[in-house]
Amino acid sequence: MSDAELKLEIIRLIDNQNSETLHALYELILSRIEPNRIEYYSVRDITYGYEQMAQDQDRENEAFEWIEGTIGS
């Protein structure tokens, strides 16, 4: 399983959990990752990043093809 597939599977698993489990998973994740690997971004930073990505038509096409390929899988 590729890293991208693994991340998608983790997101799917997390999406189906209740609040108590989500909090426990959050605490577990925080306890297992290296503190210096946690990066926090402001909404402005994230918005700017998405705007920049949206201007890259090749990547937008690639993302659209990927999304279309995951529908029904």
Per-residue pLDDT reduced to its tens digit, 14-49: 998 999 999 999 888 888 877 666 666 677 887 888
What is the structure's pLDDT at 21?
A: 94
What is the structure's pLDDT at 38?
A: 61
What is the structure's pLDDT at 60?
A: 83
Per-residue pLDDT reduced to its tens digit, 40-73: 667 788 788 888 888 888 888 888 888 888 887 6
Which amino acid is residue 38, in one-letter code?
I
- 25-56 burial, b at 16+ Cβ within 10 Å, e below that, comes to eeeeeeeeeeeeeeeeeeeeeeeeeeeeeeee
What is the structure's pLDDT at 36?
A: 65
